[in-house]
Amino acid sequence: MRGFGRREAPLMQTKIAPVAAVPQASAIVIRESPVPAGTEAVNERGALAYWFDIAPEVREEWLDWYQHDHMPSRVGTTFVSGRCYEALHAAASHMVLFETTEPEALLAPSYMALLRQVSDADRQRRGWYSNTIRVTCRVSARIGKGTGSVLGVIRIAGAKAKAADVRRCLADEVVPALARVPRIGAAWLIESDPALRARMDAVRVTGHQDGSADWAVLIEGGHESDIAGAMARLDDVASWRALGLGAAATLDRYRLLYTMSQSDRGQSGDNAP
């Protein structure tokens, strides 16, 4: 497995890092009423995912700004929800994830206006970030519902297999297999849309140098050990092994720091612009 940039906690070359009470793959029991083969029908949504490092000395200041300024300015424009994560064991110290009702909503005029208008203070805050990976995505598969307090991320970049074969493997085999693992509430797949990113980058003032990825499988759970146990089942998926996706994958585990939805903006005390 490989990562991007500086790692907060180094990943093993071929193994998922151990955590307390991680079940062995052989001990994980599939539910007696399994999720049907293939994925649930979904209304395709859009997503904007970031992975990045924040220097330890500014993390508290960054989180306060993100909670009270940055996230409220995004959620309610075109994004229906936003989440902020901190690494438990991951290649990057933080991750954020925003969702829209459809992929094209990522190009909404309200959001494009925010990208064009960057204050001097925000330019300075950009210096807090390093090793940034930004993916403008379509949500192409989802099984289950809800938001876990721990998120597993299987991030894939530069796979040698054909895109159609990778999509089929991840959407039709990996996501259902992970969703069947006990105590995993949901599993879903996001895939990069380079055309959407190009149109977004055409108006951005900053961030053109951000890296990218091709795919990410997201696993929603309550305990880190459950996420790690689910990831241990990847090699049980024949197409995952046959396509050699492990060599192109980074396996991350994050804990939820903060989340916000559109309904939160109407609550008393909201100071969002």
Q: Which of 58, 51, 20, 12 is nearest to 130 (CA)?
A: 51
Domains and CATH numbers, the chain: 41-260 (3.30.70.100)
Instruction: Give pTM, 2 decimals.
Output: 0.82
Q: How confident is the model at residue 92 (pLDDT cuts 50, 70, 90)?
A: very high
Q: Using one digit for the tens of pLDDT, what is the confidence trace for 149-159?
A: 999 999 999 99
* Residue 22 CA: distances (Å) to CA of 18, 224, 226: 7, 8, 7
- DSSP state letters, 29-66: PPPSSPPPSS------EEEEEEEEEE-GGGHHHHHHHI
Taking residue 42's Cβ as centre, other Cβ atoms within 10 Å add up to 13
Residue 88 and residue 93: Cα distance in Å, rounded?
8
- For residue 268, pLDDT over 90 is answered with no
Question: Count of CB atoms within 10 A of residue 186's CB?
Answer: 18
Q: Dihedral (C-alpha) 201, 207, 210, 212: value to the nearest 10 degrees?
A: -40
195-209: per-residue pLDDT in tens? 999 999 999 988 888
